[in-house]
């Protein structure tokens, strides 16, 4: 793909494509639920494990292994590397 000034545009890698899809899913989850506290077992309608992807990203963020350019969009969606609030305890 080329731009108007004939300079090649950077290729979108498979990883970038997946990251964009996951960010869009997190944004949709936030729109529907009012927060970005996506459960670790959340799977979208296409069968993608959005919750696991986010869990791994936050885990990398906590270990300071997530690049800044990947942190920014997560933070903009309301994702934080801090501890998540716990729900009410229920009797088993």
| End-to-end CA gap in the chain | 56
Residue 14: per-residue pLDDT: 75
Residue 3 lies in a domain: no
Residue 2 lies in a domain: no
The angle that helices 14-33 and 50-62 make with each other, rounded to 10 degrees, is 100
Residue 77: per-residue pLDDT: 95
Rounded distance, CA 18 to CA 16, Å? 5
Residue 1: per-residue pLDDT: 41
Domain that holds residue 41: 14-76
What residues in the chain have per-residue pLDDT under 50? 1-3
Number of domains the chain contains: 1
3-state secondary structure of 85: coil
User: Which position has the token pair 């000034």?
Assistant: 5
Residue 2: per-residue pLDDT: 42
Among candidate residues 2, 78, 91, 80, the one with its CA nearest the CA of residue 36 = 78
Residue 4: per-residue pLDDT: 53
Residue 21: per-residue pLDDT: 94
Residue 89 lies in a domain: no
Residue 85 lies in a domain: no
């Amino acid at each position: 793909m080329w731009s108007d000034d004939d300079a090649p545009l950077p290729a979108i890698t498979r990883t970038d494509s997946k990251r964009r899809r996951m960010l869009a899913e997190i944004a949709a989850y936030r729109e529907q639920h009012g927060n970005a506290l996506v459960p670790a077992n959340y799977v979208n309608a296409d069968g993608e494990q959005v919750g696991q992807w986010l869990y791994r990203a936050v885990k990398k963020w906590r270990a300071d292994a997530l690049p800044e350019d990947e942190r920014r969009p997560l933070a903009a969606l309301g994702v934080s590397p801090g501890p998540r609030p716990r729900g009410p305890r229920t009797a088993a």
